[in-house]
Structure 1
Amino acid sequence: MNVFGVENRDTLTHKATGYSAKLLKKPDQCRAVYACSHLFWVDDQDGIKDGERVLLCLKRALRIANAAQQMANVARGSSGPVTLFVEILNKYIYYFEKGDPQITSANIQGLIELITSEMQSDTASALPVSDAFFASTLRYIQFQKQKGGILGEKYDSIKV
């Protein structure tokens, strides 16, 4: 992406983000939208770091995952949407660690609570795969808190 000029790069990122939300299946849409967040936060020599756009991509992915959750409630037995929430949580954690000022511990805490309530309310969608994925993410947060240091201090306000 760094071979394009600023104007062409902006056009490309906006088109990619727009088209990602037009994929046929909701889980594919969600994954493509949160993957597009990396277009706005690049750790290289150019240092493109647009935290606001990253947050917009992640919120859009959450809305799509919520729509997928509503559809799964109609067609019982799908583990996709809860897993999507956990995947989005992992993206939030990634940007939280990278120092995106728009991603706060309150965002992460709210998402943890949302996932917990979704798993408790619908046992059909909380399959062992989703449970294990979420438990692994929570263990990672706990590990970072115990490790201490600057990163550990950032995680202190998150309750797992």
Structure 2
Amino acid sequence: MNVFGVENRDTLTHKATGYSAKLLKKPDQCRAVYACSHLFWVDEQDGTKDGERVLLCLKRALRIANAAQQMANATRGSSGPVILFIEILNKYIYFFEKGNPQITSSVLQGLIELIKTEMQSDSTSDPSADAFLASTLRYIQFQKQKGGVMGEKYEPIKV
């Protein structure tokens, strides 16, 4: 995307984000939208770092994941793709570590609590989702124990 001018790059990123939300299946929409968040946060020297747009993509992905969850509840009578929430949490963590000022430890804490609530309300346990969440929480705990600047960033988060 760096070979295009600023105007063309903006058009392409907005079109990609818009089309990603129009995919047929909700889980595919969710994954495509949160993947688009990387279009707005490029770590190269002359890269774009638009924390607000990143947060908008991640919030939109959360809304789509919530809609997928509601559809699954209506059709199957049980909780659906909670794993999407965990995938989004991992994206939040990625941008938190990259220094996006819009993503704070309190935002991460709220998302962790939301995921735990969703998993507790689920009548059938998904072992892969349980393992994925446990791995993510272990990573957060590891970062806290490691100390340093990153440890201080993670300190307020309760896992």
Q: TM-score range by the shorter chain?
A: over 0.9
Identify unmatched segments of 5+ residues in structure 2: none
CA distance in 1, matches of 2:44, 2:116: 36
1:148 aligns to 2:137 (yes or no) = no
CA distance in 1, matches of 2:80, 2:8: 35
Aligned residues: 159
Deviation of 1:81 after TM superposition, in Å, equals 1.9
CA distance in 2, matches of 1:76, 1:117: 19
CA distance in 2, matches of 1:136, 1:75: 30
Q: Where does 1:3-152 land on structure 2 (aligned, <5 Å)?
A: 3-76=3-76, 81-124=81-124, 126-152=125-151
Contact 1:20 1:32 in 2 (8 A): yes
Deviation of 1:79 after TM superposition, in Å, equals 7.3
Deviation of 1:47 after TM superposition, in Å, equals 2.3
Which TM-score applies when normalising by structure 2? 0.97
Identify unmatched segments of 5+ residues in structure 1: none
Deviation string 1:15-37 (CA, Å, 9 cap, x unpaired) is: 00000000000000000000000
CA distance in 1, matches of 2:19, 2:122: 31
The amino acid that maps onto 1:159 is: K
RMSD: 1.2
The amino acid that maps onto 2:89 is: L
Contact 1:79 1:130 in 2 (8 A): no
Deviation of 1:74 after TM superposition, in Å, equals 1.6
CA distance in 1, matches of 2:77, 2:60: 24
CA distance in 1, matches of 2:80, 2:87: 10
CA distance in 1, matches of 2:34, 2:78: 21
Which TM-score applies when normalising by structure 1? 0.96
CA distance in 2, matches of 1:127, 1:48: 38
Aligned-residue identity in percent: 85
Match of 1:75, SS state, is helix
CA distance in 1, matches of 2:135, 2:78: 20
CA distance in 2, matches of 1:84, 1:147: 28
